[in-house]
Every structure is written in structure tokens, then in C-alpha cells.
Amino acid sequence: MPDNTASTASRKDRYGVTRRTHVSMTHMAYDQIQAWADQQGVSFSAAMESLALMGLGQETAELLPLLIRGLMERLLAQQFNRFAKLLSLAALSAEEANNKMDTMLLNLIRQEAVADPARFITNMIVSSDPQNQTAVQIRKLREEMRHNAQAASLKRLKRQLPPEEQLITQIETDAVEEGDA
């Protein structure tokens, strides 16, 4: 059997040197080991190693840290993937909103250019002069829109994930679990 040493220090630190092994077993044994692994919340490989060591007389208390470490790593990976997916969705939503705003702004600029080509530049400038009431109203409207958008975003953050986003994050979690088996 080839000795497959871990390729990174972090894996070696977590598991020590491991060896890939092909094992044949009955369907009944496989099902029982998988059921035990599911019950313990560990991968099939960790379940096989733990059950074998217990069968060889190693105390369960000695195995407990290995099982807990495996369970904690799995939980952290699940939550990390869920958080990463949510951040990705947020970034995609922000990019989508940015593209929509760019499109709206370009359409507004085009409309102004077509409506009055001679005064186009003058019409598009918003003065910073506090005495210019039109410019003050424009800036006030922009600030109100920004405030409303921020309030709506904060309200959305406090809501529970919609079912489709829960499904996406669940798919990520399931993929991590299957990769551990």
C-alpha cells in the first residue's frame, strides 16, 4: 500500500500522517458504520478509525478528543461555507445595483443631452452653493434616497434568509459533508 503523506502542514497537524487504504466490507457493516458516523457527526473514515481503535481496546475517553475535533472542523467548515456564500450573494447584489444605477445615470445624461444640447453641461452641474435652492433640494433628495436605501438594507439584514438562499447555503453545507465522507 502506498504511503500518501499529507501535502500541507495544516492537514498533517490536524491528522498526522495518513495513509489511503482500500477496504472491502459487507453492505451490512458499511451501513452500520455509516449510521454510527452520522450519529456521531463524523466522516466515514473517522468512524472507521474510531471503531477500529475501540475494538482494539483503546479507551473511548482517549478517542473523544479526535471525535470532537472532527466534529468541530466539520461545523466550522459548514458555517464558513454558508458565510462565504452569503457574502458572495451580497457582492453580486451590490454589483447588480451598481450596474442598474450606472444604466439609469447614463440614460439620464443621454436624455439631458438630447433635450438641450447647448446647455447640457450647465444643466448637469449641481452647485455646492448653499444659496442655490435648486442645488440644495437636489442634494437633500440624494441624502434622503441614500438614507432610505441604507435603512432598507439594514432591515433586510435583520430578516431571516429567504428559502432559496437557505437552499443555496444548504447545498454548500451538504457538499462539504459529502467531501468528508
Asked if the structure places residue 138 within a domain, the reply is yes
Asked if the structure places residue 3 within a domain, the reply is no
Asked if the structure places residue 1 within a domain, the reply is no
Q: What is the predicted pLDDT for the residue at 125? A: 85
Instruction: Give the integer Cα–Cα distance in Å for 173 and 90.
Output: 18
Band the pLDDT of 29: cuts 50, 70, 90: very high
Residue linked to cell 501535502: 7
The pTM of the full predicted model, rounded to 2 decimals, is 0.38
Instruction: Give the integer Cα–Cα distance in Å for 97 and 95.
Output: 5
Contact 14, 73 (CB under 8 A): yes
Same domain, 152 and 89: yes
Residues 31-85 pLDDT 10s: 999 998 888 777 788 788 878 877 777 766 556 666 677 777 777 777 887 788 8
Asked if the structure places residue 127 within a domain, the reply is yes
Give the chain's mean pLDDT: 77
* Number of domains the chain is built from: 2
Asked if the structure places residue 2 within a domain, the reply is no
Same domain, 16 and 101: no
Share of residues in the chain with pLDDT > 70 (%)? 74
Same domain, 117 and 148: yes
Same domain, 92 and 148: yes
Cell readout for 81 is 461555507
Same domain, 168 and 118: yes
More confident residue, 112 or 58: 112
Which residue among 72, 100, 121 closes a domain? 72
Same domain, 61 and 91: no
Residue linked to cell 450573494: 89
Contact 172, 83 (CB under 8 A): no
Task: Identify the domain containing residue 89 by its residue range.
Answer: 79-180
Among residues 148, 128, 144, the alpha carbon closest in space to that of 136 is found at 128
pLDDT at 2 over 60: no
Residues 84-100 pLDDT 10s: 888 888 888 888 888 89
Which residue among 57, 72, 87 closes a domain? 72
More confident residue, 121 or 60: 121
Q: What is the predicted pLDDT for the residue at 3? A: 38
